Amino acid sequence: MYLKYLIGALFSFSLVFGMLSANQSNFFSILLWLVPVNLGYFLLLYLSKKDDSLLFYLFIAVVIRISLVFTTPNLSDDYFRFIWDGHLSLNGENPFEKKPSEQDSLIGNSRDSYLFSHLNSPNYHSVYPPFLQSVFKFSVKLGDNKLDGEIFILKLFYAIFSIAMVFLLPYLLKLYGVNAWHAVIYVLNPLVILEEMGNLHAEGIMVFFLGLFLIALKKQPKLAFLPFSTAIAVKLTPLLLIPAILWRLRLKQGIFFSLGVFLTLDLFFLPYAGGIIKGGFFESLSLYFNKLEFNAFGYNIFKAFGYLTHGYNKIKTLGPLTAILSTVLILYFSFQKRKEAWHTFPLQCLILYFIYLFFSPIIHPWYIIPLIFFSVFQKVQFVFIWSALSLLSYSHYHEGINKEKYYLVFFEYFVVLLFLGMDIYKFYKDKNKMTS
């Protein structure tokens, strides 16, 4: 009985303390922290499965999130760009119109020169959609022109959505006929907490609106376009779910949903339309398929063949090729047998997001957060194994050198594929039992 309290306390303390002391350039210190934290997570999953009380685990999740409001990101410097974009919006400028390196008026300011010197992409246009731009703007406005204050307000915004998700998820799972304890898989996942509340990556906010969307499908289907559109305005990746959604809807419903999404996104993007058109928003997005690589999964397999056949990295060919393959497979799995019953939809989303990530040339750990969310609806192991192993990608920053360690990438995905194979085998085995 007391074991869960002991493990819960150690897990919470270790996670928060580790985020206070972690250093991106020292991977061994990160490893010494994350290994016991993930072991604690797996133990809590085991205990929660046998425990009748979910409230304790939700309480831990909330306490950790509140504690992290008072910390500064140590494993990512992306927040400097968030604050930079917020300053542009607050000054009446369009954050999508110019690259930071072209913002002479801001760089001339001593404080903003400090921000500029810490940007990791000063020569690229912003790729953060309108909802986030509003969050950045208000964080800067309420932060009293002090970096610590701006970070604190940013974390408050993130905490509101993150804590709301802690209480939303058990209700959502019950609505879809899934045991509520599965919520622990997501709300206590170290990667989710680290990347959302630690490093301020917004996939968790996007997932909150996807959760509202799934609820709306069951309770208020006519309004489902609102949370779905908002999820897109946080991160663009939910766009890949649109074909599957429309295929499940009748013609009139599909037209109504499409118009709702289109008009809502217009309201979000319209204030920034001039900068998006004049600037390089889409150019910066295309970098993901033509120039940049990081911790890729299936993409690295294609790259290895490129080296074998041509002796060099054919990223300019491979990028568009894998994007086409990804699109074809996403459409194929979107247009399966029409099912108007929405309880199977989360599994379809899990498959579609997996395809997208499999072919992506860049997989930062926080990209997996939507996959973790959809995995709570299914009895799969490979996702939370992946969530633990993806943190090995922080080794690529060791000693301040941004260089991939391919032996760790190989190890990560070998283990993930092993568990994926086991999950697929179990899925079809259970399916055959049900049909026999």
Q: Quick check: 109 pLDDT over 80? A: no
What are the pLDDT digits (tens) for 359-412?
A: 998 999 999 999 999 999 988 999 999 999 998 998 888 766 678 888 899 999
Q: Report, as an integer, the average pLDDT of 121-150.
A: 92
pLDDT of residue 231: 98
pLDDT of residue 99: 87
Q: What is the total count of domains within the chain?
A: 1
pLDDT above 90 for 117? no
pLDDT at residue 293 greater than cutoff 90: no
The answer, yes or no, to whether residue 111 has pLDDT greater than 80, is no
Helix (H, G, I), strand (E, B) or coil at 294: strand
**Mean pLDDT along residues 155-168:** 97
| pLDDT score of 156 | 97
State the Cα–Cα distance between residues 204 and 69, nearest whole angstrom.
15
* Average pLDDT of every residue of the chain: 89
> Would you give the DSSP letter of residue 362?
B
192-204: average pLDDT: 96
| Identity of the residue numbered 235 | K
In the predicted structure, residue 344 carries a pLDDT above the cut 70: yes
- Average pLDDT value for residue range 329-353: 89
Angle ∠(374,376,382) on CA atoms, nearest 5: 85
Quick one: what percent of the chain has pLDDT higher than 90?
60
More confident residue, 255 or 336: 255
Average pLDDT estimate for 271-286: 78
Residue 32 binned pLDDT confidence (cut-offs 50, 70, 90)? confident
User: Closest by alpha carbon to 283, among 122, 129, 125?
Assistant: 125
Which residue in the block uniquely carries the two structure tokens 């092993």?
Answer: 418
Q: Cα-atom radius of gyration of the chain, to the nearest Å? A: 22
- Among 126-130, 286-290, 350-354, 417-421, where is mean pLDDT lowest? 286-290
* 363 neighbors 357 (Cβ within 8 angstroms): yes
| Domain limits for position 286 | 3-435
Q: What is the pTM of this model?
A: 0.93
Give residue 110's pLDDT.
62
pLDDT on residue 183: 96
Residue 294 has pLDDT above 80, yes or no: yes
Residue 311's pLDDT band (cuts 50, 70, 90)? low
Average pLDDT for residues 250-276, to the nearest whole number? Answer: 93
Q: Is the pLDDT of residue 51 over 60?
A: yes
Q: Which residue has the higher pLDDT, 325 or 300?
A: 325
C-alpha pair distances (Å), 185 with each of 173, 224, 287 = 12, 25, 33
pLDDT higher than 70, residue 315: no
Is the pLDDT assigned to residue 314 strictly greater than 80? no
Q: How far is CA 89 from CA 77, 83, 234, 302, in A?
A: 20, 10, 16, 41
Q: What value does the mean pLDDT take over residues 189-213?
A: 97
Res 434: pLDDT: 62
For range 47-68, the mean pLDDT: 92
d(CA 360, CA 355): 9
